Amino acid sequence: MTVEEKIIELKNLTKSYDQFTAVDHLNLSVSKGEIFGLLGPNGAGKSTTILMMLGLSEPTSGSISICGYDPRRNPIEVKRKVGYLPENVGFYNDRTGLENILLTAQLNGYSYGEAVEKSIETLQKAGLTDDIDQKIKTYSRGMRQRLGLADVLIKDPEVIILDEPTLGVDPNGVQEFLDSIVELSRKNGITVLLSSHDLHEVQKVCDRVGLIVGGKLIAQGNLNELSQQLFHTAAYQIIAEIIWPGDNDPVERMKAIFKDIRGVINIEKEKNNTYLFDCETEMSSDIARLVVTSGGNLVSLTQKKYGLDEIYYRYFEGGLNHGK
Amino acid sequence: MESKTTSGGKAPLISAKSEPSVSVNPSPFRVLLQKEISDQIRSWRFIILISLIVLICLGSLYASLGSFAKSVKPTEAEGAFFFLRLFTLSNGRLPSFVLLIGFLSPLLGIGLGFDSINSEFNGGTLSRLLSQPIHRDSILNAKFLAPLIVVSVMFFSLGLLVMGSGLIALGIPPTAEEFMRIILFIFISIIYVAFWLNLSIFLSVKFRQAATAALMGIAIWLFFTVFYPMIINLVTQLFEPSRYAPVPYIIAFQKIKFLLMQLVPGRLFNEATTTLLMPGVRSLGPLTFWQLQGTIPSPLPLGQSILLVWPQLTGLIAVTIVCFVLSYVSFMRREVRSR
């Protein structure tokens, strides 16, 4: 990638309801052709952010640019380029799948003839060929979701925004759905913004992830960058099991040993004989050498790595308070 | 766009049409309107409402034809608007056509509009519609215009059918003026339905549950038809001047009372339609005795009748627009989440 074209750019986006700030000075940018995951627990402000991008909700302050258009001033242009698939997408239950998609096609400026052709073609791609003339009420959840994708694709979008698209779809269906999105994005250069609370789903398909908690974007980047940003106070933690012969306060002793070494921020006792070193850089070899030369018996030394699971635990299952 | 590969089953008309690709594209509003109209026509509710109205028309037609002979007196002048009596006569058991229409129009308006926005909202289709490149107001416009078109077609055909069957039964053709008066009557009825339609669309924007919106609409209708006149009577009775009070005082009192009564849309409709269908009506407000002095007891010409109901007509249109603006304002500012 040489010059990255920013398709979605949010600057200081804020949305507050009476007392409650749903989205708080959010900055975000997504380049062309990228699959960006917006990860966050329920109520983090993902949907609100998306609604503002589409001009379906008025931001309190901040600026939005989608494909160079401001959805507040030019909602029509934005909606022409953006396909939006909300969670629990709704269709007219008394109409057939074809009729529903036909309406979308016509609203996007196709004449009736073109719309029919295009709809049939898109529905075939979505794997709904046999169910074209069935009424929506007979559709299963997975079929509705595929119909939703067809509904998005019929306008030939440059950007697809998916808001919790796989909610309530079985694992098989989720896999298929995500695969087709990746394929689409790679083949046609479509930019995808996928909002989800499911870590593994995001991990599977997204190039980059933005972690949003309490209306704030806490970190963004690929998974490595994410853990670095999130744990920047101690980017590296080393756990060492050391036996100090005949000593009743090994932590003080170690602090004295490591006093002059730059990079070690803190030492804590974790369990019996197990100590946690907070370091600025990777320095396990230094620690090992120093421990051994000062007469300690080094039993084991492991570098603690932050995976997404750790992130997930810390921010999601720990509740919103941890994120603040 | 691939417009060349026309699928096999399509009629040649369509492929010919899709050739100049851009120029024939329908405006989103028209697409929405088509969808709304077909939604209306397919719905059970519409079929029920229509059959109700048709039954009522037949009933009132039967009633007015039955008592027609009695109502015509040999002393009456020739231009006595016999034909209009088809719409205003009743046999004492069934109300007249005009009254029934006045009674049912609110029901029709409320029935066609009470779930227009909130059903889309609850079905999750509103956010899907709104994420298409269309203006938000075109949804509201289509929601209003589609039932109105359907109702207009229905009212005109019903009115003309009543006229036609009257023509067969009576053997008297309507005069041009009578015809004009009937057309105007239908027109006013449509405006009256439009008012209730707008009110119920407004309620459907305001209330998330369709049932609440419907109940609210019916409550408003009942309030205006039953309770409001009662309350006004009760209140004005307290201030009723004695019979010996000075005349200007009595006139002022009557005028205020008339004005308060006039606030009811149903009243406006009744006044407008009776004036149009009964050319003998010469005034709607209080009349003093000396105002009547020297008048010739003859029906008013059409122009004068229209002049007489002009305020009522403007009033009706005004409240219709007010309701539309209200729903417009609250809909345009609404944040639309999916379900």
Predicted local distance difference test score (pLDDT) of residue B4: 41
Which residues of chain A make contact with B21, given a CB cutoff of 8 A? Answer: 111, 114
Q: Where are the beta strands (DSSP E) in B142-186?
A: none
Q: Which of A84, A92, A117 has the CB atom closest to B6's CB atom?
A: A117
Percent of chain A at pLDDT exceeding 70 = 88
Predicted local distance difference test score (pLDDT) of residue B227: 92
pLDDT digits (tens, 9 = 90+) for A255-296: 788 877 777 777 878 777 888 887 777 778 888 888 888 888
Angle at B175 between CA B169 and CA B179, to 5 degrees: 85
| Element containing residue B256 per DSSP (H, E) | helix B247-261
Tell me which chain A residue has its CA closest to the CA of residue B7: A117
The CATH class of the A232-305 domain is alpha beta
CA distance B153 to chain A (A): 24
CA distance A290 to chain B (A): 60
CA A236 to the chain's CA centroid: 24
CA distance B52 to chain A (A): 24
Q: How many CB atoms lie within 10 A of CB A205?
A: 17
Which residues of chain B make contact with A15, given a CB cutoff of 8 A? Answer: none
Cβ-contact A257, A242 below 8 angstroms: no
Question: For the residues A133-146, what does the mean pLDDT come to?
Answer: 89
Cβ-contact B101, B196 below 8 angstroms: no
Instruction: Enumerate the CATH 3.40.50.300 domain ranges in chain A, comma separated.
Output: 6-91+139-230
For an interface test with A, give the residue of B21, B44, B128, B136 to mutate (most A CBs within 10 A).
B128
Which residues of chain A make contact with B42, given a CB cutoff of 8 A? Answer: 94
Number of cross-chain residue pairs from A and B with Cβ atoms under 8 Å apart: 119
pLDDT range class, residue B26, cuts 50, 70, 90: confident
Contact A107 B125 (CB under 8 A): no
Q: Per 3-state DSSP, what percentage of chain B is helix, strand, and coil (rounded to 5)?
A: 70, 0, 30
Tell me which chain A residue has its CA closest to the CA of residue B38: A95
Contact A76 B134 (CB under 8 A): yes
Predicted confidence (pLDDT) at residue A252 exceeds the cutoff of 70: yes
Residues B46 and A225: their CA atoms lie apart, in Å, by 60
Cβ-proximal residues to A62 (8 Å cutoff; 6+ apart), any chain: A10, A11, A12, A13, A14, A25, A26
Q: List alpha helices for A208-249, DSSP H.
A: 223-230
Please enumerate residues of A whose Cβ is less than 8 A from a Cβ of B. Answer: 47, 51, 54, 56-58, 76-77, 79-80, 82-84, 86-94, 103-104, 106-114, 116-118, 120, 151, 155, 163
> What fold does the segment set A6-91+139-230 form as a domain?
Rossmann fold (3.40.50)
Predicted confidence (pLDDT) at residue A127 exceeds the cutoff of 60: yes
Contact B17 A113 (CB under 8 A): yes
Contact B134 A56 (CB under 8 A): no
Contact A56 B26 (CB under 8 A): no
Question: For the residues A309-319, what does the mean pLDDT come to?
Answer: 62
For an interface test with B, give the residue of A81, A117, A156 to mutate (most B CBs within 10 A).
A117
- Cα dist from B104 to A149, A162, B52, B196, whole Å: 44, 46, 9, 11
pLDDT digits (tens, 9 = 90+) for B56-112: 888 888 888 877 777 776 666 555 677 888 888 777 777 888 888 888 899 999 999
Please enumerate residues of B whose Cβ is less than 8 A from a Cβ of A. Answer: 1-3, 5-7, 10, 14-15, 17-18, 21, 24-26, 28, 31-32, 35, 39, 42, 123-135, 333, 335-339
Cβ-proximal residues to B78 (8 Å cutoff; 6+ apart), any chain: none
CA distance A4 to chain B (A): 27
CA distance A209 to chain B (A): 24
Amino acid at B218: I
CA distance B325 to chain A (A): 20
Sign, CA torsion B179/B181/B185/B187:
positive
Contact A91 B17 (CB under 8 A): no
pLDDT range class, residue B25, cuts 50, 70, 90: low
Greater confidence, B36 or B88? Answer: B36
Which residues of chain A make contact with B336, given a CB cutoff of 8 A? Answer: 51, 56-57
Q: Which of B24, B42, B124 has the CB atom closest to A90's CB atom?
A: B124
- Cα dist from B323 to B144, B205, B232, whole Å: 11, 11, 23
Query: What's the order of all strands across the beta sheet hosting A216-221?
Result: A82-85, A159-163, A191-196, A35-39, A208-213, A216-221
pLDDT digits (tens, 9 = 90+) for A53-109: 988 888 999 999 999 999 988 889 999 999 999 888 889 999 999 999 999 999 998
Instruction: Enumerate the CATH 3.30.70.100 domain ranges in chain A, comma separated.
Output: 232-305
Contact A89 B124 (CB under 8 A): yes
Tell me which chain B residue has its CA closest to the CA of residue A54: B131
pLDDT range class, residue B300, cuts 50, 70, 90: confident
| Element containing residue A242 per DSSP (H, E) | strand A236-243
* Beta strands at A208-213 and A35-39: parallel, antiparallel or unpaired: parallel
